[in-house]
Structure 1
Amino acid sequence: MSISISNARPVHGTVHDDDVLRRAVHTSSSTNDRFVVVEGPRGSGKSHALAGIAAAARADGHAVVELRSSDGDPVIASNSLEPWLRLVQDVGAPASTRSPATRRSFVLVDDFHTLVDTARSVLRTVLAGLVRESDTVCVVAVDDRQCVPGWVDLQYVPLRPLGDADAEELLRRDRVDLPTSRAGLLLRLADGNPALLHAVGRAWSAGSAAERTTPFPTSYPRLGASGDAVRALDGLSERARSTALAIAVASVEFPEDHPTWDDQGALLLDERLRELVVEGRTGLGFRDPFVRLHLLSTATAAELRRVRSLVAASAAVPERLRVFAEAAASPAHDDGLVPRLFALVDESLRLRRPDDAATALVEAARLTSSDADRAQFGARAATIAAFTGDFALVDAEAERVASDDEPAHPALVGALEFVRAARTGDVRAGRRAVLAALDRSTRPDEDDVLVATLHVLCYLRGDGSWWDEALAVTADRDVDPVLRVVEDCLDDEPAGEERAALYRAARVSMADAQPWKAVALHVAWSLLDATDPRREVLDAVLSRSADAGLLRYFGSCRAAVAAYQAGRFTAASAALDGVRRSAEEWGADTFVALTDALQALIHSLQGEPEQATTKADRAARWALQHGAPLVARAADHARSSLDVAMGRFEEAHARTTTRPAPAGRWLENSYGPIGLLDAVESAARLRLTDHGRSLVSAAERTVGSGATPRRSMVLKAARAVLDADADARVLFEDALADVDTEVAPFEVARVRLAYGEWLRRSMHALEARTQFRLAASTFEVLGAGQWQARAERELRVAGGTGAPSVPLESTDLSEQERRVASLAAAGLTNKQIANQLFLSPRTVSGHLYRLFPKLGVTTRAGLRDALLGLEAPRSDALR
């Protein structure tokens, strides 16, 4: 084969690397397919990609030859010499004399573009012959925008340094357990290179908890001899090396700094050093992250401290980093730095930087000479770290306390028990420890953290008697208004001025952005019904809180639950995938199991029984092993919902009768909005009406006069399902008038389905078909496949089809109904319509309830088109 030399870059598409490599090893691959060029800039991980290809090829039984460039010369790896000689000897030899063939040979060449011209030309010719004559796959790595001249239509795989999101995903897959601040330092150090992320991340994760939580590492890991990195630094003078080390420290540990230091106030770079650095968005950095790491890893601890102090003296360095650098350079007690560190705590919290606040407290605890202050600072740091998901810092403080053989500070008990509950679901032991710590607590701030932890434990337990005890414990204590908000959300009594004042006080309290407050308000939000107006107030307060670490998980969880309750099942399922990954990242297995249970419920509603069963069973097994009743109930509700949707009423009833009822006050977990209706419908289908009535009566007694519209609708519908006389019609219609379809679409459709079944049994087939059509239409929009199929089956039994039961042209609306429909179609709320027409909101809701079946629509969004359809025949008649 003749090869024409050309410097022009070949035209190629952006084929994904997996596709290119899959094509290269396919039995039908062409010559061009088997020659692959991996390109990318420094830091893109070309060497890491070649190592991965080599490992995969060897695992599949292929022969692998690895070459790299060293000062322009091709160097072969020692374990590659034998397969390389055998491969070269076999090319051109008679078939009878060739060595026994392996499945395929891979030749991998790193930094092909840095070879001298002669070596590159000869190697290119040899590789071309191997690819053509021996079915060899050849992969070469080149720099960004480089090409292999002389070969047309090669397959290029473009690589780029990993972005922060992909880099964090890689760390999650590698199970790299680092505090948030150290993880951020790692991302800057690796500069998107997957090999450095993997190696340094693993090395730092293997260190002690105390080492992982220091503001700056005492040393950097060595990754073995890197010839290129060593050679790049060999020619530097002592002064240039000091400058290079300062640039390395500044670019990794002081990302907000633009280094401008030296004796004259300007950074001087000699010619050799200029070849290694590049001007970036935040100042000077290294072109090659491996060179930077080699420089940092060969510096002594004393050198690193000296350079940090030098960098911190720059005017561009923020005060917080300057203080951290001075603290890191002070190995002994330094009480003079403690006030400066302590001043950073409140400032960092106000600026929504809880990681900096925790770091400042850890350093203050290390430098103070007071044992009492050391315990208090360490406990407060652990509290911040626990509620932001920095569990390693909590572990470090627990190790320190254990090694010093001192009793745990009350606030530290709260942090430890929150972490244990998140990791293992063990809430029983946690409650005992928290209550004991409250008995010996002497400070209101300690009480607040312990009570916040107690509220989390009560929520995860889902037991009303636990909440009753928690309320009794805090009754005479001066606790933060945020915690009173949690208690208020246990109460369904109507709003008053006292409640409004409480929420104003909580908003003021949230100004200091303590992480435990955000978690407490998340618990409060989760205790509320979806139609409770207090949710909007809490959403507004929480939107101004920090979103670091685990707090971001809680925010995503609220968004996913809100999407689910609004009937946006697909969006909720996608959001929960991210929620689950976040929970896995923090090692919060309890939240992982709870997410599985919620996803199981969504799968059951979407008509995906296999996925629903798999996730529900996984969550139920975890709950059984760890004693987590809330997770168990959520998983059980997912299975019950699936059973009811598929008509398996005996199975659903068996679950409701064996499920332990929560003791004390009646609370729902926000994930099963109509579990009561499932249970009552199952009992009615099996003619166990007495059991169904006992469930409804118990729910009505516990709800009392504080029923929200959504709960009221479910209670009325449940009572109507059990009612065989004409009163059921009134109950169903009142239930449907309580809640707009847009607020709770799935629940309204469920009630319509139950109403249609009652109408059909009562010989009102025409009205039943209307309810079935509306229910089926809503289920279809929501993607609730199982429920849609059930509604359509009921529609066929009632003698209906999919066509509208009443033509729009024949629909007769009163003038009042037209005005209500027009205003609703324009986007006005029921309250706004009532104000304009001098009606009550309940009357407006009743009008809309009767309008929807008449117009054949299920949502307000369909009103406009329906009204236009009514106007068209009238216009034709006038003409």
Structure 2
Amino acid sequence: MLMGRDQEVARLEALLAAARQGRGGALVLRGEPGIGKSALLEHVTRAAADFQVMRASGAEFEMELPFAALHQLCAPVLEHLPALPARHRQALEVAFGLDAGAPDPFLVGVATLGLLVERDGPLLCVVDDAQWLDHASAQALVFLARRVSAERVAVVFAVREPAGPGVPPELAGLPGLSLGALREADARSLLRQALRAPLDERVLDRILAEARGNPLALLELPRTAGLAGMAGGFDLPPPGAVEQSFRSRLEKLPPEARLLLTIAAADPVGDPGVLWRAAALLGVEDGATAAAAALPGTEDGAALVEFGARIRFSHPLARSAVYRTASAEERRRAHAALAAVSDPAADPDRVAWHRAQASPGPDEEVAAELVRSATRAQARGGVAAAAAFLERAAALTLDPGLRADRVLAAAEAKLSVGAFDVAAELLSTLDPGDPRVDLLRGRLSFVRHRGGDRPAGYLLRAAGRLAATDPARSRACYLDAIEMGVFAGGLDEVIAAARQAPPAPSERSSSDVVLDGLVTLATEGHRAAAGILGPVVGDADADVWIRRPSLGFMLAVELWDFDALHGIATRVAAAGRRSGSFHMLPIGLAMLATATVYTGDLGAAMELISEEEAIAAATGAAPLVYPRIHLTALRGRREEAAELFATVGPHMTLSAQWATAVLNNGLADYATAMKAAERAAGHGDLGLAGLALPELIEAAVRCGETERARSALATLSERARAGGRAWGLGVEAYARALVHDDEESYREATSLLEPTPLALYRARAHLLYGEWLRRRGRRREARAELRTAHDLLSGCGAESFAERAAGELRATGEHARGRSARTSDHLTVQEVHIARLVAEGATSKEVAARLFLSPRTVDAHLRNIFRKLGLTSRRQLRGLPEIR
């Protein structure tokens, strides 16, 4: 019986009940050591008698091995690998070391989902000690936990707090349940059950006070002190000393038995073959096994350790106590023996790790082996594992230069997986005069304090130090500092410093061209810079954009070059798909969604946003909100926009202001639009300021602020004419027509924008011209322009601008064709995406792979889509024009 855990038990049993009905889910149990997490895991396992139960457990010594815990969980069903699609099967085989190559993290997640859910009967996945999960397994398991809502699958994690590294960030977004101390009545009842003899009430009260409601402490304190000690009330362990209880009992074992347990604790795999070979190598006799097995465990009748098909400790704290009770020499002997008996061909990384733990001091041979393990881990997607191998390799390296290289590599790997504190600590051990340290400090400062301090300063210092010895790297640092200044602030200071960059070589790289162009842009303006930047911005395949796609995207907007904008976005999205990068693909999809919005294909933009949000949901990351902001503004939905703008962080404020201006120009609330556009344009952000200028001009003209409009037009004209692209020139022409009341400029705008794919800007040009004609009483001509505008705007779903056009048409005496409710209006973004894919002929499995879902989840979404649209079959979706 679990004392005082009725609510927790009910929550777990509700999770199982929902999973039985095809409404899967996950739960993370959190609490201090001994609070009852393992007992609850055992309870939920017993309650799931009709489930297939699969287990995995994080281990402190396995955190360095990518996919170790995932392999442990999936081991019972690996015989079903051949049934998976070829790409999914290969992804898991690579992840588990059964095949060579680099695993695609997306495919690993989808393949794991397929391996576990494509089977009969409900499934329970139990993951204990999740604070020790390796990074790659944590990603895959959380991916699984987030995608089982339509499956008969329950996933339960247990995380020890505050001991250990804490909750893996991947788990942070899952539903959680924190276990607190037992209430006094429950604690007293549990303690009485643990006692075998009457006890003075005052002593019992003291034990309760010492245990502080921790169930394991209540069971262990009587064992540790003994009845005689408790009867007098003396020699009780200090508070929080549950682990000490295990240590006290270990001290009663003979040395050989303790050594055997130390070997078992040092090998988290629990392979009895490895254990017995290592024990034999160290001369441990059979009698040690009997002595260790006879040691009482955490509950009456349970052994501290079970020697069976797997070596299993009765409680995670028991393993920890065994390992930490051993002397440093005993731990080294255990690891050395395990390294000697492990298979170097089948498991070279575990051998290397055991050898590293066995090393009493610097050892270049072992360090070099760890570096090779880091390379293998990196190739398998285990960046966190590579960081751990490199960190340990650096600790075993005696040569100062080689050690610095390894520490830098470890710090960079730690930074890439979000272990910022560890990265900072590693960097603190290096020579602060090393420019490589400044480069990493700059990146670290940027990701930790976005929008706060000036992380570009570190890069500028590195650039100055490299100027004489390595001019090419110095110039690259200046360009990185400029990009960082765009996002983190302080751009003017960075540009001023970048003017001191070493001169470019005679044969300039694309990075050299961009650096020179940006300095020219800041110091001499768009007209001077366009000739430098235009060709390289127009080349979406230029090398400079591989590392700096966001900078290229912003410069394409700055020069009003839509082909470059779309080309860079397409390349980033394609590269993200090829690499399976959780970082690059969402950025590419968000860029492509933004570019697609400008073309007026809001349905395609919704698909891209849906895919980006699917990745965010699968990985627990925050979705990139700016493409949705743009989409919502153009659709003219004020309430939806207000809710979305409220979620925007400080670094997105200006983008939200631009979107606010677009929204309110569509709704004809020009005063609000002007204020928002002024804020967006006044900051001078690359790209964004230029986009805000036409919104400012339109709103200012409508508000009678002619001088303000003229000033903004002068700035827009310089930018657009310098770029020389039809997009910018067309927008500048209709802005000029607004300010100067010039019909020829309206005609110029519609002519320039007509051949472009920019349907929304083309429609707005026709709308403004039609409004101008209507105000001059030229109704017949106005109707033609307004009908064109209304058809374009209503066709793509820009509802507020379409209503503006409809209102103007009514003023000419013509009623616009009423916009019937689009059948897709009631669908979510994800449902629209699924409907479009199915309408194109995709199967549920193909849609599932695209959106990182299970086929059953896709089918559940389809049932909702059919219900909302009044359909009964997939074939009917193909008959809906806006779905297609």
Which TM bucket (shorter chain)? 0.5 to 0.7
Match of 1:82 in 2: none
Residue 204 of structure 1 aligns to a residue in which SS? coil
Residue 369 of structure 1 aligns to a residue in which SS? coil
Match of 1:249 in 2: 269
Percent sequence identity over aligned pairs: 18
The one-letter amino acid of 1:701's match is: E
Q: Deviations over 1:450-505 (max 9, x none)?
A: 44641332221578746744653545368995744754896654999999999576
Check whether the contact 2:657–2:676 (CA below 8 A) recurs between aligned residues.
yes
Match of 1:769 in 2: 783
How far the C-alpha of 1:249 sits from its partner, in A, is: 2.7
Q: Deviations over 1:411-462 (max 9, x none)?
A: 3333333333333334653233332232234567974774464133222157
Distance of 1:376 and 1:109 partners within structure 2:
44
How far the C-alpha of 1:787 sits from its partner, in A, is: 2.7
Residue 199 of structure 1 aligns to a residue in which SS? strand
TM-score, normalised with respect to structure 2: 0.54
The reply to whether residue 184 of structure 1 matches residue 209 of structure 2 is: no
Check whether the contact 1:420–1:426 (CA below 8 A) recurs between aligned residues.
no
Check whether the contact 1:557–1:579 (CA below 8 A) recurs between aligned residues.
no
Distance of 1:726 and 1:112 partners within structure 2:
75
Check whether the contact 1:482–1:520 (CA below 8 A) recurs between aligned residues.
no
Check whether the contact 1:556–1:579 (CA below 8 A) recurs between aligned residues.
no
Match of 1:639 in 2: 660
How far the C-alpha of 1:668 sits from its partner, in A, is: 0.5
Residue 300 of structure 1 aligns to a residue in which SS? helix
Distance of 1:311 and 1:792 partners within structure 2:
78
Distance of 1:548 and 1:675 partners within structure 2:
32
Distance of 2:540 and 2:18 partners within structure 1:
62
Q: Deviations over 1:60-113 (max 9, x none)?
A: xxxxxx9x999xxxxxxxxxxxxxxxxxxxxxxxxxxxxxxxxxxxxx998599
The one-letter amino acid of 2:568's match is: R
Distance of 1:47 and 1:178 partners within structure 2:
14
Distance of 2:679 and 2:30 partners within structure 1:
57
Residue 203 of structure 1 aligns to a residue in which SS? coil
Instruction: Give the direction of change, closer, same or farther, for the CA distance of 1:712–1:554 in structure 2 (3 Å limit).
Output: same
Residue 695 of structure 2 aligns to a residue in which SS? helix
Q: Which moved more, 1:492-501 or 1:644-653?
A: 492-501
Match of 2:450 in 1: 425
Alignment of 1:387-466 (within 5 A): 387-398=416-427, 400=429, 407=432, 409-426=434-451, 429-441=454-466, 447=474, 450-451=477-478, 453-460=480-487, 465=492
Distance of 1:498 and 1:113 partners within structure 2:
61
Match of 2:393 in 1: 364
Instruction: Give the direction of change, closer, same or farther, for the CA distance of 1:705–1:315 in structure 2 (3 Å limit).
Output: same
Match of 2:364 in 1: 335
Check whether the contact 1:598–1:634 (CA below 8 A) recurs between aligned residues.
no
Q: Deviations over 1:195-230 (max 9, x none)?
A: 973423763334999xxxxxxxxxxxx995899xx9
The reply to whether residue 570 of structure 1 matches residue 599 of structure 2 is: no
Distance of 2:12 and 2:790 partners within structure 1:
43
Residue 603 of structure 1 aligns to a residue in which SS? helix
Distance of 2:392 and 2:38 partners within structure 1:
46
Instruction: Give the direction of change, closer, same or farther, for the CA distance of 1:614–1:488 in structure 2 (3 Å limit).
Output: farther
TM-score, normalised with respect to structure 1: 0.55
Residue 661 of structure 2 aligns to a residue in which SS? helix
Q: Quick one: which of 539, 544, 551 aligns to 2:572?
A: 539
Structure whose CA Rg is larger? 1
Residue 722 of structure 1 aligns to a residue in which SS? helix
Check whether the contact 1:261–1:311 (CA below 8 A) recurs between aligned residues.
no
Match of 1:528 in 2: 556
Distance of 2:591 and 2:790 partners within structure 1:
28
Match of 2:770 in 1: 756
The one-letter amino acid of 2:323's match is: T
Match of 1:62 in 2: none
The reply to whether residue 607 of structure 1 matches residue 640 of structure 2 is: no
Residue 531 of structure 1 aligns to a residue in which SS? helix
Alignment of 1:15-414 (within 5 A): 111=43, 141-145=47-51, 181-182=134-135, 184=137, 197-200=157-160, 203-206=163-166, 224=216, 248-249=268-269, 293=316, 296-300=319-323, 310=338, 313-317=342-346, 319-342=348-371, 354-398=383-427, 400=429, 407=432, 409-414=434-439
How far the C-alpha of 1:300 sits from its partner, in A, is: 0.9
The reply to whether residue 681 of structure 1 matches residue 698 of structure 2 is: yes
Match of 1:715 in 2: 732
Match of 1:476 in 2: 503
Distance of 1:572 and 1:607 partners within structure 2:
20
How far the C-alpha of 1:518 sits from its partner, in A, is: 5.7
Residue 686 of structure 2 aligns to a residue in which SS? coil
Distance of 2:732 and 2:277 partners within structure 1:
79
Check whether the contact 2:766–2:789 (CA below 8 A) recurs between aligned residues.
yes
Residue 398 of structure 2 aligns to a residue in which SS? coil
Instruction: Give the direction of change, closer, same or farther, for the CA distance of 1:368–1:725 in structure 2 (3 Å limit).
Output: same
Residue 269 of structure 2 aligns to a residue in which SS? helix
Structure 1 portions without partners, runs of 5+? 1-16, 23-35, 56-65, 71-107, 115-140, 147-160, 168-175, 210-221, 252-257, 274-283, 507-516, 586-590, 806-863, 867-879
Match of 1:652 in 2: 673
Residue 700 of structure 1 aligns to a residue in which SS? helix
Distance of 2:553 and 2:607 partners within structure 1:
20
Distance of 1:201 and 1:557 partners within structure 2:
36
Check whether the contact 2:131–2:160 (CA below 8 A) recurs between aligned residues.
no
The reply to whether residue 695 of structure 1 matches residue 712 of structure 2 is: yes
Match of 1:510 in 2: none
Distance of 1:649 and 1:750 partners within structure 2:
15
Check whether the contact 2:513–2:533 (CA below 8 A) recurs between aligned residues.
no
Match of 1:849 in 2: none
The one-letter amino acid of 1:199's match is: V
Structure 2 portions without partners, runs of 5+? 1-9, 53-72, 75-107, 114-128, 146-152, 170-213, 220-244, 251-256, 281-288, 294-306, 519-528, 820-878
Check whether the contact 2:730–2:750 (CA below 8 A) recurs between aligned residues.
no
Check whether the contact 1:413–1:450 (CA below 8 A) recurs between aligned residues.
no
Cα root mean square deviation, aligned: 6.1
Instruction: Give the direction of change, closer, same or farther, for the CA distance of 1:48–1:531 in structure 2 (3 Å limit).
Output: closer
Instruction: Give the direction of change, closer, same or farther, for the CA distance of 1:541–1:110 in structure 2 (3 Å limit).
Output: closer
Match of 1:746 in 2: 760
Higher relative contact order (CA 8 A, sep 6+): 2
Distance of 1:48 and 1:540 partners within structure 2:
33
Check whether the contact 1:383–1:411 (CA below 8 A) recurs between aligned residues.
no
Distance of 1:865 and 1:574 partners within structure 2:
20
Check whether the contact 2:130–2:160 (CA below 8 A) recurs between aligned residues.
no
Instruction: Give the direction of change, closer, same or farther, for the CA distance of 1:749–1:525 in structure 2 (3 Å limit).
Output: same
Check whether the contact 1:525–1:538 (CA below 8 A) recurs between aligned residues.
no
Distance of 1:523 and 1:180 partners within structure 2:
36
Instruction: Give the direction of change, closer, same or farther, for the CA distance of 1:615–1:803 in structure 2 (3 Å limit).
Output: closer
How far the C-alpha of 1:576 sits from its partner, in A, is: 6.0
Distance of 2:785 and 2:690 partners within structure 1:
21
Instruction: Give the direction of change, closer, same or farther, for the CA distance of 1:689–1:345 in structure 2 (3 Å limit).
Output: farther
How far the C-alpha of 1:698 sits from its partner, in A, is: 1.8
Match of 1:731 in 2: 748
The one-letter amino acid of 1:249's match is: V
The one-letter amino acid of 2:769's match is: Y
Distance of 2:633 and 2:537 partners within structure 1:
38
Check whether the contact 1:598–1:638 (CA below 8 A) recurs between aligned residues.
no
